[in-house]
Structure 1
Amino acid sequence: MKFMTDINITSPETRIRYTDPLFLIGSCFTEHIGDKLGSLKFSILQNPHGILFDPVSVSRTLDACMENRPTSAPSLFPLNECWNSWDHHSRFSGIDRDAVLAGINHEREKAHHFLKKSRWLVITLGSSYSYRLVEENERPVANCHRAPAQWFRKHLCTIDETVAVLDNTLHRLFRFNPDLKIIFTVSPVRHLRDGVVENNRSKARLIEAVHHLVHKFNKLYYFPAYELVIDVLRDYRFYDIDLAHPNYQATTFVLDHFRNSFISPDDHPLMDQVQQVVNARKHRAFQPDTEAHRNFLRTFSDKAKLLQDNYPFLDFSEESAYFLEALQ
């Protein structure tokens, strides 16, 4: 008896390798992918402006990274006892304006150079809704920073608007970094505060726009994260308590498909070895003073050193330091 719908995922001819730098940008689901790849020691940089949801904010951020355009003090505004930027997530906000500015510009500078050398860009779009700041000629904002709702106009981007803004940025990206390949995904996180019907309209527009672009460019690919959760799993037991965010089982299911479809099979054994060392670093022994646990630490200390020696592009400094300190 069959309990799940099959899904056909088209893999690129050349898949992601460990030596490929990956730049990730977009919604919170971007960070599920990025955090997992980062924990497996891939070279990643994600969301240099913080979490972004709509295609306009994603495009504006990528443009800023390519231009290496500095943020100046007048761009910041005070709200709720903090200095904030309309182009950045609240994680950049703070009470010291100079520190906020320094943090923003440091991340932009790092992102500029990383994007230039990246081999893959993963873009995860979350919503077609874009918020426009009314008093500043309806400029798009990346984050509302809990400002009063009347400051903004909520705009549902059309398919044509989404295609146009992303198309322009894609052309710039391929000039900026001719070796770049791009994977689009649509986040399976449900934006229920918009309403169920409105969320579905929003996602549908993103999916249609992305597929238009994927068929236009030969270096663009689509990973169906949205379809894997909505159409394959299709069950609220795969959602968190808010009924909006996929839970651990769902995200693991999606990430397994990403691995199998987009990461070179030649690197899968190395990924498994790295995962063993990472898991050992997180292990908490019931009896840490036993010789058995010390042997466990020695085993994985040696394994981390061997992997580091054989694969110099991996960084096991944190794990090695932990094992050695625990053995003292």
Structure 2
Amino acid sequence: MNFTLPLTIPAAGTAIRHQDKILLTGSCFTEHMSSRMEQLRMDVLANPSGILFNPESVADSLNAYIDNRAYTTGDLFCLQEIWNCWDFHSDFSATSSAAALDLIHSAVSGAGAFLAGADWLIVTLGSAFQYFTTALAGEAGRGVANCHRAPGQWFEKRLLPVATIVDTWRQLIGRLQTYNPKLKIIFTISPVRHVRDGVVDNNRSKARLIEAVHTLVATYDHCSYFPAYEIVIDILRDHRFYDVDMIHPNYAATQYVWERFADTYFTADTRKLLGRIQDIQTAWHHKVRFPDTEAHCRFKASYREKLLQLKEQYPYLDLEEALAYFSSAS
């Protein structure tokens, strides 16, 4: 008896190598995938502008990186003594406009340089709803990526049409091809439900994202779709795969999505290497009750040898911090 629906994911035309540079951007689900890649010593840059949910804001952020856009005080607003930018997460807010602009310019220039040399761009879209400022915000009709807890009267909420999303991303994909011809793009839809929109409107929103993304993937050979949304919503639909809020996927769910992603996009050799790195990560963070014993010294020596073998086989790996730990006296 089967207790889950079958889901066959087509093999990727091009595999991700461990040494590839990967830029991830989009919703909070991006954080789950990027954190696993970082733990496995992959070269990643995640959400340079902070968490972004709607496709227009994600596209605008990528255009900003390509242009190395120069933001000015006119792009900021001050609310309750904090300077913010509508295009960025509150991680880029500060108590002075100069400090906020420094954070923003550092992020934009760094992301632009990384994107120019990246092998992969992984885009996770969360919602087709976008908020636009009203005149009460000082400027009417500006699309925002983050509302920064400003008064609700400052915004108008709109559900973006599929045609608008597709047109924006077609233009952006053309620019990305010129900016970095080797870049390959993986689209995913976040499985996190935006329940504040209501269950019905959340489904309308996700449907528009899915339709837009599949239109793009059918158009461009270097774009693909990974069904993270379908894995969680249709395959892992039991409540035991959700956090206590019954909205966000829990560790078991995100780990399963990660494993399916690895099976789809990583070569067998890369998966084997990731297993070796994960073994070292687990040993490194293992809580030791008796660090002064001979047994623990032998344990550390064995992992030091494993690390040296990895460094010899894969010189690009950054293993210095782990090597220092396993080389230290207990």
Normalising TM by the smaller chain, what interval? Answer: over 0.9
Deviation at 1:321, TM superposition (A): 2.5
Task: Output the CA distance in 2 between the equivalents of 1:131 and 1:313.
Answer: 43
Task: Output the CA distance in 1 between the equivalents of 2:48 and 2:288.
Answer: 37
Check if 1:291 corresponds to 2:294.
yes
Which blocks of at least 5 consecutive residues in structure 2 are unaligned? Answer: none
* Secondary structure, counterpart of 1:131 in structure 2: strand
1:219 corresponds, among 197, 205, 222, to 222
Task: Output the CA distance in 2 between the equivalents of 1:74 and 1:258.
Answer: 42
* Secondary structure, counterpart of 1:112 in structure 2: helix
Q: Which moved more, 1:282-291 or 1:216-225?
A: 282-291
Task: Output the CA distance in 1 between the equivalents of 2:313 and 2:72.
Answer: 45
Task: Output the CA distance in 1 between the equivalents of 2:35 and 2:22.
Answer: 12
- The aligned length equals 327
* Secondary structure, counterpart of 2:69 in structure 1: coil
* Secondary structure, counterpart of 1:245 in structure 2: coil
Deviation at 1:299, TM superposition (A): 1.8
Task: Output the CA distance in 2 between the equivalents of 1:241 and 1:207.
Answer: 27
* Structure 1 partner of 2:150: 147
Task: Output the CA distance in 1 between the equivalents of 2:79 and 2:301.
Answer: 52
Q: How does 1:136-285 map to 2 (within 5 A)?
A: 136-285=139-288
**Which letter does structure 1 place at the counterpart of 2:112?**
H
**Which letter does structure 1 place at the counterpart of 2:40?**
L
Deviation at 1:180, TM superposition (A): 0.8
* Structure 2 partner of 1:40: 40
Task: Output the CA distance in 1 between the equivalents of 2:174 and 2:52.
Answer: 21
Task: Output the CA distance in 1 between the equivalents of 2:94 and 2:320.
Answer: 31
2:316 corresponds, among 279, 300, 313, to 313
Deviation at 1:73, TM superposition (A): 2.8
**Which letter does structure 1 place at the counterpart of 2:44?**
I
Deviation at 1:149, TM superposition (A): 0.7
Q: Tell me the TM-score normalised to structure 1 length.
A: 0.97
Task: Output the CA distance in 2 between the equivalents of 1:266 and 1:296.
Answer: 26
* Structure 2 partner of 1:12: 12
**Which letter does structure 2 place at the counterpart of 1:27?**
S
Deviation at 1:218, TM superposition (A): 0.7
**Which letter does structure 2 place at the counterpart of 1:39?**
Q
Deviations 1:25-50 (A, max 9, x none): 10011111111111111111111100
Task: Output the CA distance in 2 between the equivalents of 1:237 and 1:80.
Answer: 41
**Which letter does structure 2 place at the counterpart of 1:248?**
Y
Task: Output the CA distance in 1 between the equivalents of 2:87 and 2:321.
Answer: 33
Deviation at 1:322, TM superposition (A): 2.7
Task: Output the CA distance in 2 between the equivalents of 1:51 and 1:129.
Answer: 15
Q: Tell me the TM-score normalised to structure 2 length.
A: 0.96
Deviation at 1:95, TM superposition (A): 1.8
Which blocks of at least 5 consecutive residues in structure 1 are unaligned? Answer: none
* Structure 1 partner of 2:305: 302
Deviation at 1:134, TM superposition (A): 1.4
* Structure 2 partner of 1:94: 94
* Secondary structure, counterpart of 1:15 in structure 2: coil
**Which letter does structure 2 place at the counterpart of 1:280?**
A
**Which letter does structure 1 place at the counterpart of 2:172?**
T
Distance change (3 Å), C-alpha of 1:261 and 1:292: same
Task: Output the CA distance in 2 between the equivalents of 1:318 and 1:197.
Answer: 48
